[in-house]
């Protein structure tokens, strides 16, 4: 399973709007298995430099993508960008400089390799169970059918103390006090973003094993975030 390839957003729209100081008009239901290529909730700066809530497709498409490269993205979407190399990659460089976003979430899944059998999924949530903002970059591009589509990727970093025994990478989370900097910084301020691209401090995440039912995009219910031990009783 891809690093940071699934996450949850169970928090109600009003709570999401309050966290990110945006008007959320969507009456979206709780989601327990948000998957790549789906439309997802995003907070970004619009053309008037105002903070806005909207939907974007999870699976980044560079604005210049065409032909075979575009066809390949339909089969293997760019759902993550490594924070260590985001400015070196032609696919992501421009978006990181000019089009960063926050992806509301209240949990994410990672998969641990096992000696035998399939990888074991784990869910990670903040200890208080609150909504948080994943660091994202976005781009308006042409989809394979020729229309315009807003697309995004979630930034990752080498795992910190809470996740390193499970997986080698974790998503970058932007602390609330840095939302404005992350969304508003221009190209002259990029160095100020570097300290934000780090793993979470020890004790930030609570994690536990869950059912492999989360592996299927068809499954999306509260049973996916039940501790595996409880399922075995």
Active-site residue among 4, 19, 35, 101? 4
Task: Report helix, strand and coil shares of the chain as percent, to nearest 5.
Answer: 25, 35, 45
Q: Which of 132, 130, 99 is nearest to 20 (CA)?
A: 132
Alpha carbons 171 and 136: distance in angstroms, whole number: 9
CA gap 222, 215 in Å, rounded:
14
Active-site residue flag, 139: no
DSSP codes, 138-182: EEEEE-TTS-EEEEEEEEEEE--TTTTTT-SEEE-EE-GGGHHHH
101 is catalytic: no
- Contact partners, residue 232, CB within 8 Å, separation at least 6: none
User: 185-193 — which CB contacts under 8 Å span 24+ positions?
Assistant: 185/100, 186/98, 187/97, 187/98, 190/87, 190/96, 190/97
End-to-end CA distance of the chain: 27
Contact 26, 14 (CB under 8 A): no
- Per DSSP, 104 falls in state E
> Of the residues 19, 35, 110, 170, which is catalytic?
110
The residues pairing with 137 across neighbouring beta strands, listed in sequence order, are 100, 153
DSSP 190: G
Please list the active-site residues.
4, 110
């Amino acid at each position: 399973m891809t690093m940071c390839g699934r996450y949850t957003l169970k928090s109600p729209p009003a709570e999401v709007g309050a966290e990110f100081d945006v008007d959320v008009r969507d009456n979206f239901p709780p989601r327990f298995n948000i998957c790549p290529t789906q439309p997802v909730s995003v907070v970004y700066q619009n053309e008037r430099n105002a903070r806005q809530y909207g939907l974007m497709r999870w699976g980044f498409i560079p604005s210049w993508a065409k032909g075979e490269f575009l066809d390949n993205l339909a089969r293997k979407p760019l759902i993550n960008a490594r924070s260590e190399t985001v400015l070196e990659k032609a696919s992501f460089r421009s978006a990181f400089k000019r089009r960063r976003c926050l992806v509301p979430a209240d949990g994410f899944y990672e998969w641990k390799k096992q000696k035998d059998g399939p990888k074991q999924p784990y869910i990670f949530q903040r200890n208080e169970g609150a909504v948080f903002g994943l660091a994202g970059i976005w781009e308006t591009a042409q989809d394979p059918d020729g229309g315009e589509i807003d697309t995004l990727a979630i930034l990752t970093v080498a795992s910190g103390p809470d996740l390193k025994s499970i997986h080698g990478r974790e998503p970058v989370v932007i602390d609330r006090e840095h939302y404005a900097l992350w969304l508003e910084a221009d190209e002259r301020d990029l160095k100020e973003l570097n300290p934000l691209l780090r793993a979470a401090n020890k004790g930030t995440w609570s994690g536990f094993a869950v059912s492999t039912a989360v592996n299927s995009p068809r499954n999306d219910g509260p049973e996916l975030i039940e501790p595996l031990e409880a399922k075995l009783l």
